[in-house]
Amino acid sequence: MSILIVVNNPRDWPLAIPGVTVVSARAYLTDPAFGGDHTVRVFNLCRSYRYQTLGYYVSLLAEARGHKPLPRVNAIEDLQSRNMVRLLTEGLDDLIQKSLKTIKSDTFELSICFGRSEASRHDTLSRQLFTLLQAPLLRANFVRRGKHWHIRNVRTIAASDIPPQHHEFAIQAAKEYFMGRRRRTRKLAAPRYNLAILHDPGNPEPASNARALQKFEKAAQSLGLHTELITRADYGRLAGFDALFIRDTTFVNHYTYRFSRRAAAEGLVVIDDPDSILKCNNKVYLAEILARHRIPAPRTLLVHRDNVNQIIPALGLPCVLKQPDSSFSLGVVKVETAEELPAKVNGLLDKSELIVAQEFLPTEFDWRVGILDRRLLFVAKYYMVPGHWQIIRHGDDKHDFVEGKTEALSVGEAPDRVLKMALRAARLIGDGFYGVDIKQIGKRLYVIEINDNPNVDAGNEDSVLKDALYREVMGVFLKRIEARKRGAYR
């Protein structure tokens, strides 16, 4: 991959870096030679990125040419808005306080060159701002109010704004960034596309355990996909990927949903897509759509403060109460007696105007049917924790939990009625990756939930298909990426 630095005037770039070509913005925009080389990586260091300036058009045309510019047009737009900069950097407060705690004055200016600061104590903060805002040269201004530091603004700067005494540092920072990218490219053996896998290393109940993530990466590599494990700190880098695979617990009011929305807006292939997260994360929506399409489910009542007295006549006791966005058995409570009902209902209604109440259907296990791209992927039995009514029993601490055993089966071993019901239910949501939970009581089947972002853990859901399960998932990504490049998939 060749590196192209675009500036208003090559004389504005005072840094000599081996292997890097410097061209004028006008030449890049008008010379046909630059439109045919798809291996170019463009770094736009023009003096201004304002709408319809040369700098703006450099990034715009670079995207059209497949040159993946830095910054991209959406990053340029973000930097023009103080509200967007504030939103993107809202998770950096602790880091800002730590990095600036020794500053004596009430204002501070931080210059950032390719994610580096000349003062090494600010390197971590500089890397995070660069990752989020994705512009090669940045200048962040901070102000202290009382004892607390705040970001006043962040703006881009031109190469000509680098003081002569900082040239040596800027050359080193740029070289390290460029050479780092080259080393990664050589090791990847020319992958066709880039897939980001979003995970949270601190989540005690991740959607995929560490071994499963490794298997996803290996399967992707065998198909020519380069994968990178990313975290919430990598929000600003999404535009540099072709696809996003979310492997952290999803919620609507959560960073996972923001990642999904941003990736979809950037044109990436996303699993799970924001629409699936929105629908599957709300038990009120699921109850309504299952009833509308006459898919059997436990007797259900949408509860608000004015109909609490209808729960027992409609459902009997014991019954189950669910927060609309409950997951992993959290936000789900069992009510045994009429005396405990008001307190448990009110506790959930304090968080949501509507909650879901369902009849209690005790079973030894739940069927879990994994579906991707409207096709069956895996089948498993999720057993209840011994002595408990759920598949997960939580303690007082988030790391204190016990799971029931998981037994994977081949698709042919599962009842055909279970599979057909699961496919019918999942199709109501979309063509994403779903885990449909079904209870079986005698000959009767009941859909309990349709989950986006279903678990795939090494040693559990993959016990039958083994590595083929991971190849199937990565194969869907590859198919969709290629279709999107052709304009055939939306």
Range of 40-49, 223-232, 278-287, 346-355 with top mean pLDDT:
223-232
**292 within domain boundaries:** no
**10 within domain boundaries:** yes
| pLDDT at residue 2 tops 90 | no
Please give the sequence-ordered ranges of beta strands (E in DSSP) within 405-460, or none if there are none.
406-409, 433-441, 444-452
Quote the domain boundaries for residue 214.
187-273+477-486
pLDDT of res. 471: 95
Find the CATH number of the domain harbouring 457: 3.30.470.20
Same structural domain, 173 and 49: yes
**281 within domain boundaries:** no
Domain limit, last residue, from 130, 152, 182: 182
Find the CATH number of the domain harbouring 321: 3.30.1490.20
78-92 pLDDT, tens digit each: 777 777 677 667 778
Same structural domain, 454 and 420: yes
pLDDT of res. 192: 77
Same structural domain, 265 and 125: no
Domain limit, last residue, from 130, 153, 182: 182
pLDDT of res. 14: 65
Same structural domain, 439 and 308: no
Mean pLDDT of 126-131: 87
With CA atoms as reference, report the closest residue to 473 among 371, 368, 380, 369. 371
Q: What's the token pair of residue 333?
A: 């409570």
| pLDDT at residue 183 tops 60 | no
pLDDT of res. 135: 87
**290 within domain boundaries:** no
Of residues 248 and 187, which shows the higher confidence score?
248
Q: Decide: 247 and 208 in contact? Cβ < 8 Å.
A: yes
Range of 78-82, 196-200, 482-486 with top mean pLDDT:
196-200
Angle at 167 between CA 164 and CA 172, to 5 degrees: 170
Same structural domain, 215 and 337: no
| pLDDT at residue 237 tops 80 | yes
**381 within domain boundaries:** yes
Same structural domain, 21 and 144: yes
pLDDT of res. 182: 42
Q: Is 263 exposed, middle or buried (0-12, 13-18, 19+ CB in 10 A)?
A: buried
Beta bridge partners of 99: none
Same structural domain, 208 and 323: no
In angstroms, rounded to a whole number, what is the distance separating the alpha carbons of residues 189 and 138?
32
21-61 pLDDT, tens digit each: 888 888 888 888 887 666 788 888 888 888 768 888 888 88
**Contacting residues for 428 by C-beta, under 8 A, at least 6 apart:** 289, 290, 293, 295, 450
3-state helix, strand, coil in the chain (%, to 5): 40, 25, 35
Same structural domain, 102 and 178: yes
Find the CATH number of the domain harbouring 258: 3.40.50.2300
Domain limit, last residue, from 118, 151, 182: 182
Q: What's the token pair of residue 449?
A: 């939930």
Same structural domain, 85 and 155: yes
**283 within domain boundaries:** no
Same structural domain, 262 and 320: no
**279 within domain boundaries:** no
Least confident interval from 1-10, 270-279, 475-484:
1-10
Same structural domain, 136 and 163: yes
Same structural domain, 126 and 193: no
Straight-line distance from the first to the last Cα atom of the chain, in angstroms, rounded to the nearest whole number: 29
DSSP letters of 150-161?
Answer: EEEEEEE--GGG
Total domains, the chain? 4
CB hemisphere CA count around 320 (13 angstroms)? 20
**285 within domain boundaries:** no
